[in-house]
Structure 1
Amino acid sequence: MERGVPFRKRLRILFVVEGNRMKGLVFLGEGKMEFRDYADPVPGPDEVVVRIKASGMCGSDLNHLNEPKRREDQIVIEGHEPCGVIAEVGSAVRASEVKIGDRVMVYHYDGCRTCPNCRSGWMQNCDHDRIAFGGNGHGAHAQFMKVPAHTIIKLPDELTFKAGAAVGCGSGTAYAALKRINLLADETIAVFGQGPVGLSCTMFAKAFGARVIALDVGEERLQMARDFGADFTINPLKDDPVAAIRDLTRGGLGVEKAVECSSNPIARQQAMKVVRQWGTTCLVGVHGGMEFECNELISKQKSLVGSLTFSKNIQDECAQFVAERGLNVDALFTHEFSLDQAVEAYALFEQRKIGKGVFIFN
């Protein structure tokens, strides 16, 4: 990544908004980014324009940033954790759906809208043409964002814009994973990886009433896990996690449920080994592989499942869950930035010198 002072200065100058123009942050691949000039978006009949108030940084952003050089037709405004206020609505959007001034989150996917997955609210699994805002469609790292009205989810009054950004990806993903495995209050769960998604799993699992064992190789993240309610923490660099988890469970049988959030292949193996007979392991961290002995799964009647983000309904449900229980999702963010600090922010994020960051707009 080009992190020299002249490059940063150039980006900061480019960020100035002139008239009805805005600047959006784009990734070029190969670790490079820049701001580009865009006309302020105008909504079509079934669309709305959101004035962004908070746009979260996600670990998957680094995959986009460091992928091979992008073609011009692949370059879009980044940012897939949007939260803000409705600025404009299209002519066909009913006031009962959404109106100017509403505080909102954005479900950051669109699809064909007619296949079974789209109709059930799982547009990230569209059978035809999936759009992921901030991936292959313009996202929220800009002053405004234009989206279909059906992607809008009202932000509960109790939640800040930062909390809405968290629910819009990382925290919503954690909530959906716990729903996927049907976590119960009398169960113990092991959460591998205490990044933003893993910490959200820890927080939500405690709110579900479960006993939580949090694992990470970073002591600062383990402390955050304890702050979020983890009953036990394990550093796999210091202790054998499989043995340690068995020691913490009755009869050494292991946990009922495990969620793996790090994408580490060894952690994935361990997450499957630590669940007891009839237990369930859920993989949330994306990319990479996993090797395991099939008989471990078969003979002990274990289940191995995957969970990819969430549906529109689950995003709404997660926001209500956070609001009703007064959960401090804001604490997931360790740093706030203005968007013109993006080069510095992503450099720190990639070097793991900060936790979860968020861009704040006036």
Structure 2
Amino acid sequence: MKGLVFLGDRRTVIADFDDPTPGHGEVVVEIKASGMCGSDLHWYRAPHDPNVPVQARMIAGHEPAGIVAAVGPGVLAHVAKVGDRVMVHHYHGCTVCDHCRTGWPQLCEPVTRTTYSANAHGAHAPYMKVAAATLVPLHDDLSFEAGAAIACGTGTAWGALERAQMRGEETIVVLGQGPVGLSATLLASTRGARVIAVDLDENRLELARSFGADETINPRNADVTEALRDLTGGKGVSLVVETSGSPQAATSALKAIATWGRLCMVGVGGQVTVETKALLDRQVTVMTSYTMSTVGQKACADFVVSRGLDLDRLFTDRWTLDQAEEAYRHFDAQSGGKGVFVF
């Protein structure tokens, strides 16, 4: 089969790989939608290593949704059977440590975890072999594209709001309105919060308003700290969800957090320097959020279905695999919504 590989230096290639065959406890998923995630850009932009041949690289893509096409030995029928509509939680651990048992294989203590697209083949291909334990049911009311979003980007936003214990009466700031930030804006707004969206791109801010943002701020046109204080009558915001990975954005928001406020860091990359006393004086809580658990992934999907949310609106660009070079060049510009490969 054909699969998409990142070469680095903003280059991709469609390479030939053997068709996957499930081993014990494994299934093969026929991919119907494979989302493009902002974290893909770290691999896409990384320096090219000429010493690593194409066949030694992993197929990209860690937002899979599709149909179970084959089941290996040892997989019980209630876990997976041919024809099931599924999402994939893109981590798999030892299955027996405390973190794995509670649905957090990305925190696997023996560090035996598999991360699909990093050290095992991902979903930018027609088929993908995964551990059956990674499967999360995909509700009939959800499209495969929506399932792909929940498998990482939207699920990550859900995980951050849960980690931060967001309350419906709060004013929260979502820094960055890429796919994760837009999802956070949609979910927080649906859960009753007043949402202030921040981004450098006007197209993304327009999307944010359509997803429920009450206010928007473009740092090119306003000082974020001052704007946030103005919008809260000088009190500051109670919760900031940082999805952009920008140290400048996080620093600006920290200055505008209210007493007893919280900052939840989601974006990958960058370093944030804080003045401890300034946070102590306001009893500020700073935390991180690492995607979501398998339980959280299903809870997010259930919430989307129960509220009738249209996640398909996240996707401004749909691509076929042979358009991969153009797709990632477009996605690299970080303007607009989310991209997805459909099969």
TM interval, short-chain normalised: over 0.9
Q: Is 1:29 paired with 2:11?
A: no
- Pick from 94, 101, 115 the counterpart of residue 76 of structure 2: 94
Q: Is 1:81 paired with 2:63?
A: yes
Offset at residue 74 of structure 1 (A):
5.4
Distance 1:263 1:311 in 2: 21
What 5-or-longer segments of structure 2 have no aligned partner? none
Offset at residue 297 of structure 1 (A):
1.1
1:283-298 equivalences in 2 (<5 Å): 283-298=265-280
Partner of 1:337: 319
Q: Is 1:321 paired with 2:300?
A: no
Q: Is 1:237 paired with 2:234?
A: no
**Amino acid corresponding to residue 348 of structure 1 in structure 2:** H
Q: Is 1:56 paired with 2:39?
A: no
Distance 1:36 1:220 in 2: 34
1:211-360 equivalences in 2 (<5 Å): 211-250=194-233, 252-352=234-334, 354-360=336-342
- Pick from 164, 173, 180 the counterpart of residue 147 of structure 2: 164
- Pick from 106, 129, 133 the counterpart of residue 146 of structure 1: 129
Partner of 1:19: none
1:122-201 equivalences in 2 (<5 Å): 122-127=104-109, 128-201=111-184
TM-score (norm 2): 0.96
**Amino acid corresponding to residue 227 of structure 1 in structure 2:** S
Residue-by-residue CA offset, 1:149-194 (whole Å, 9 max, x unaligned):
0000000111000000000111000000000110011111011111
What 5-or-longer segments of structure 1 have no aligned partner? 1-21
- Pick from 1, 25, 42 the counterpart of residue 21 of structure 2: 42
CA contact (8 A) 1:272 1:304 kept: no
**Amino acid corresponding to residue 207 of structure 2 in structure 1:** M
**Count of paired positions:** 339
Residue-by-residue CA offset, 1:240-286 (whole Å, 9 max, x unaligned):
11111111214x11111111111111101112122100100111101
CA contact (8 A) 1:25 1:34 kept: yes
Distance 1:144 1:202 in 2: 32
TM-score (norm 1): 0.91
Offset at residue 353 of structure 1 (A):
5.2
Offset at residue 347 of structure 1 (A):
1.0
CA contact (8 A) 2:201 2:335 kept: no
Partner of 1:7: none
Distance 1:260 1:332 in 2: 19
Distance 2:238 2:336 in 1: 32
Q: Is 1:68 paired with 2:50?
A: no
Task: Please provide the CA RMSD for this pair.
Answer: 1.3
Q: 1:257 to 1:354 in 2, by over 3 A?
A: closer
